[in-house]
Amino acid sequence: MLSQRQIRLLAATSIVWALSTACDKFNVPRFSHDPVGGPVAPISVRVVLDQQLENAIFTQPVCDNQLWEGRIAEALAQNIRDAGRTRFKSTQVVAASETAASSQFPADYQVLLRLVNKDFVGKDRTGSTDQYMARIDLDLAATYQAVLPDGTVRTMGEGPLRYSDNVSIFTPRVGQAGGRCLTGGLDGTLAKASRALTDQLFAVVAQLPAGGPTSTAVAGAASSPVGAMAVPQPPGAAPMILRVSLLDDNQNHILEPGEKIGLRVDATNTGAGVITHAPLSLGGTPSLIDAFAQSGAGSQDLGPINPGATKSTVLWGRMPSSLSADRGELTVSVTPSWIDQRGTALASAPVGQTLVAAIRSGGSTIAEGQNVGGRASVSPADHNRLALVVAVRHYRDPWPGGDAKPAADPARLAASLQQKLGVSKDRLMLLEDELANRLDIEEALTRWLPERAGRETVLFVYFVGHTIVDAQTGEVYLVPYDAAPDAPLYRFLPLRRLHSHLNQLDAKLSLVFIDGSMSRVNSTSASTTPSKSKKAATAASPNWQGALDRVSNGKGLIIQFARRESQQPFQAEHFLAGFDGQSDLDQDGQVTVGELLRSLKGQAVTVPLISASSPELSIVLSR
């Protein structure tokens, strides 16, 4: 019978929110791509966590002097089990104290994980700061063993697993109603570290002979010193993890005509021998290949790369001045060759990653004064205007009624913001579907907007997608691409948190539009379940006010418009109709904030209440 400790470890609560499982082609802002897992290997793997690792925790101070505790073993166990389902015949995770009991579960290979070092330190944090930088370090030592038919084990080799990163963390100093505290940023940081270590671990395990411990390669293997990662490698297996990312000059995640772009390539040697050569090549959409034509990509060689080391390079290029495609693909391939411990020269098939990027075609770029959709252009580009559009029409894990399908697509919505409100294209960020995941919405709010917002800025934030309402408290959450109504609370973006981010900006005026379908959930401390009880009819009303009642520190006014719960779905540009000429009530040729409020009265829930004498009512939005 399993002990309570083993049950707790094997049934660890899932905390993975920052990234999705790897796939052949996957978009995220920054256009990055995770390592692609190989096919299912016909081996069984048992991972054993030593006692020090089993008891290790990270801590950080959070709401109302509480202490967040992140259990490293639970996060690792969850990631190893989840990833193992798609990589190996079977995967088990046990504590060292239960190794004997786990022998009832057969395994071909066993990996002992030992904690070497852990550190999670907040930097530059004051008592009143909710957003701060932190450094996380997590070092493990892995011992790889073959489980022989008689039950004995033979050590094949040892090697390090290391993760280190500087991260931006949001942990509010003040808790929410009901004693809840938002710690999703901390949970996600631990999840990301655990997933990176799991990737490193499985990159080595995947190289073990498929024949299991009866293989002659295993039987003859000698133990190797720590740090060597001495694992027998089948012919053709590449001892490399490849990470690639695209960088665009204005950071709006859209590649535009004439824009400077960059390509970062990180190659990690996961084998025991030195990778002597690793030539790089590009393929895909011609315009993207042409952009890097002068970078010498075809002559780049990332080798040599020592065992466990990572070699990085950044190629710079420029998009062609005329573009016709709306979407492009760039395949980055590296072909490693190396020398194993026996001195044999080996090579593998290319290791490749494919990035998919949004492209603004030359014909769709909106010039100042250009007509869009038959409407008259009324607003020249204004560099004090700033816009963030988050549009999720198709979720990663769809559910009935979850997809929002507006009549106008998000690109056209972004075009209307440019045409009607004078937002220049380099000051508009569009996060659509895969690009609208939680991690990158947060990055847009904490980095992209603060770098561009000033005291004269008028900011437009537009969300198209699904929202959920806590049936008990009325708290509202925005659902990013990589979440669903039955996901844990930390996978969502709380409306209060959006307000908190906007309140830290220096913008003169921020207009927030929430246009999405809605469902109610009954929340618990760890997860949410769609509300299907009769009590749903009398559940708490949506708290659209969120944190806006505290926005009074002189940094500008925030006004939010949300679709009424009883309204039927409408076009994505519904709220923007308030900027049309018919909203110009005094017929002076311009639409002000006051006129916008009056034109949307009865059509949207508007918060907070604005005094009729407020000077912000006279701010001109469009002409």
Pick 3 or 486 by higher pLDDT: 486
More confident site: 378 or 517: 517
* pLDDT surpasses 60 at 299: yes
Let me know if 28 is exposed, middle or buried by CB neighbors in 10 A (0-12, 13-18, 19+).
Answer: buried
CB 432 within 8 A of CB 408: no
Alpha-carbon span 143 to 209, nearest angstrom:
16
Q: What is the pLDDT of residues 415-447, one digit of tens each?
A: 778 877 888 877 888 888 777 888 788 888 988
CATH for 180: 3.30.160.150
pLDDT at 461: 93
pTM: 0.46
DSSP code per residue over 437-455 = -HHHHHHIIIIIHHHH--T
Of 324, 359, 394, which one is at a domain's C-terminal end? 359
162 vs 409 pLDDT, higher one: 162
Higher local confidence (pLDDT), 30 or 264: 264
Burial 411-435 (b: 16+ CB within 10 A, else e): bbbbbbbbbbbbbbbbbbbbbbbbb
- Are residues 192 and 314 both part of a single domain? no
Pairing of strands 528-530, 476-479: unpaired
Q: Assess if residue 464 is contained within a domain.
A: yes
The answer to whether residue 100 sits within a structural domain is yes
Interhelix angle 72-87/184-205, nearest 10 degrees: 50
The more confidently predicted of residues 440 and 7 is 440
One domain, residues 143 and 182: yes
Q: Are residues 206 and 299 in the same domain?
A: no
User: pLDDT category, 56, cuts 50, 70, 90?
Assistant: very high
The pLDDT value recorded for residue 13 is 31
Asked whether the predicted pLDDT for residue 371 surpasses 50, the reply is no
The residue that leads in pLDDT, 544 or 104, is 544
Q: Give every CB contact of residue 359 below 8 A, 6+ residues apart in sequence.
A: 254, 255, 256, 287, 319, 323, 325, 326, 327, 328
Q: Identify whether residues 256 and 210 lie together within a single domain.
A: no
Same-domain status, 576 and 450: yes
Angle at 30 between CA 126 and CA 417, to 5 degrees: 90
* CATH number of the domain that residue 277 is part of: 2.60.40.10
* Cβ atoms 621, 579 nearer than 8 A: yes
The verdict on 101 and 67 lying in the same domain is: yes
Does residue 235 lie within any of the structural domains? no
pLDDT digits over 522-539, tens only?
Answer: 754 334 344 434 444 466
What's the pLDDT tens digit per position in 65-80?
A: 778 889 999 999 988 9
Query: Please, is 283 exposed, middle or buried when counting C-beta atoms within 10 Å of its C-beta (0-12, 13-18, 19+)?
Result: middle
CA distance 271 to 238: 8
287 within domain boundaries: yes
For residue 103, the model assigns a pLDDT of 60
Residues 180, 114, single domain; the answer is yes
User: Rounded distance, CA 383 to CA 63, Å?
Assistant: 38
Look at residue 230 in the predicted model and tell me its pLDDT.
36
Q: Decide if pLDDT at 374 tops 60.
A: no
Compute the chain's Rg from CA coordinates: 27
Range of the domain at 69: 4-219
> For residue 405, is pLDDT > 90?
no
- Of the pLDDT bands very low, low, confident and very high (cuts 50, 70, 90), residue 212 is low
Residue 476 lies in a domain: yes
Over residues 127-147, the pLDDT tens digits come to 455 667 778 889 898 888 888
Identify which of 84-93, 377-386, 493-502, 571-580 has the greatest average pLDDT. Answer: 493-502
pLDDT at 97 over 80: no
Residues 244, 354, single domain; the answer is yes
**Which pLDDT value is given to residue 251?**
63
pLDDT classification of 125: cutoffs 50, 70, 90: low
Alpha helices (H) along 206-346:
216-219, 286-291
pLDDT at 47: 93
The mean pLDDT value for 266-287 works out to 85
274, 320: one domain: yes
Lowest mean pLDDT among 142-146, 297-301, 351-355, 557-561: 297-301
Are 205 and 248 in a shared domain? no
State how far the Cα of 352 lies from the Cα of 110, in Å rounded to an integer. Answer: 29
- Whether 369 is covered by a domain: the verdict is no
**Is residue 439 in a domain?**
yes
Q: How confident is the model at residue 64 (pLDDT cuts 50, 70, 90)?
A: low
One domain for residues 468 and 568: yes
With a cut of 50, say whether residue 347 has pLDDT above it: yes
Looking at the fold, whether 446 and 585 belong to one and the same domain comes out as yes
Dist CA 217 CA 233 (whole Å): 9
Check which CATH number belongs to the domain holding 428 and give it.
Answer: 3.40.50.1460
**Strand 493-494 vs strand 476-479: parallel, antiparallel, or unpaired?**
antiparallel
- Residue 492 or residue 207, greater confidence: 492
Residue 578 — very low, low, confident or very high, per pLDDT cuts 50/70/90?
Answer: low
Cα end-to-end span (Å), the chain? 74
Question: Of all helices (H) and strands (E), which one includes residue 235?
Answer: none
Of 187, 219, 251, the last residue of a domain is 219
Of 79-88, 223-232, 247-256, 512-521, the one with minimum mean pLDDT is 223-232
Number of domains in the chain: 3
Instruction: Please give the Cα distance from 528 to 399 (Å, whole number).
Output: 15
Rounded percentage of the chain residues whose pLDDT exceeds 90: 6
Q: Tell which residue, 467, 477, 462, has the closest CA to residue 411.
A: 462
**Phi, psi for residue 390 in degrees, rounded to 5:** -115, 115
The pLDDT, as a whole number, for residue 215 is: 38
* Residue 195, in any domain of the structure: yes
Q: How far apart are CA 283 and CA 395, in angstroms?
A: 29
